[in-house]
Structure 1
């Protein structure tokens, strides 16, 4: 029986597609540094590329930490797009329509929905394998 990371196959494919898009956006963000260089953006972008590549490898190999790295990569992407900062700056009673139609708000909502779906259908560690391995060891 093969290893599984998610309980549904469609969620696994969704996670792979999202990881590929995140790697693409991270590389494009790195290439845009040549236009306007900033050391903080460089650090965040390099961290984002590394975490996205770890998430992709862990998903392909179906390791237990795949969901953790995918959560980290989505979180870094949402922070990298500065969704929270832009929305916080626009917060005022008269700008509600502008906030709801903002591209940054859509990124934030899309990332949150994907995080909820991925965490809802992720498989937890299977404790029966550990119990089977510990038979005869007399751990009282």
Structure 2
């Protein structure tokens, strides 16, 4: 029996495609390390590669923590792409027509859609709280 993560299959496919795309982008960013080495950039690329791979694997296998890793992956991508755009906007550049701005909007929309249509699981009573109590 397959476990449901999202209410609709279309949202699941959107999440898998987004996760795969972010994993591929972070995998190609490893090649960027060799152009200009920086310890901070290496650490950032390594963390993003690990989080994106966990997100993709957990989504494909439909584990419980798949949405958590996908949210972390999307948040990390939005922050890394949004910081230079924010600095450009504050310096007076026109960023609305920029490709990166459009990509961030797509990532934010996918983040909202994923979190709106996730399946909420409420485990009834916790077993630890019932230790020592009689239930007849």
Shift of 1:129: 8.8
1:7-39 Cα offsets, whole Å, 9 max, x none, are 000111111111111110001111111111111
**Separation in 1, partners of 2:86, 2:98:** 9
Cα gap change, 1:112/1:120 in structure 2, threshold over 3 Å: closer, same or farther? Answer: same
TM-score by length of 2: 0.84
1:37 equivalent in structure 2: 37
2:74 equivalent in structure 1: 74
Residue 106 of structure 2 is aligned to residue 118 of structure 1? no
Structure 2: runs of 5 or more not aligned: none
Residue 6 of structure 2 is aligned to residue 6 of structure 1? yes
Cα gap change, 1:8/1:129 in structure 2, threshold over 3 Å: closer, same or farther? Answer: farther
2:83 equivalent in structure 1: 84
Pairwise CA RMSD of aligned residues?
Answer: 2.2
Segments of 4+ moved more than 4 angstroms: 128-131
Query: Number of aligned pairs?
Result: 131
Is the Cα–Cα contact under 8 Å of residues 52 and 69 in structure 1 kept in the other structure? yes
Structure 1: runs of 5 or more not aligned: none
| Bigger share in helix | 1
Shift of 1:2: 2.3
Cα gap change, 1:2/1:102 in structure 2, threshold over 3 Å: closer, same or farther? Answer: same
Shift of 1:77: 1.5
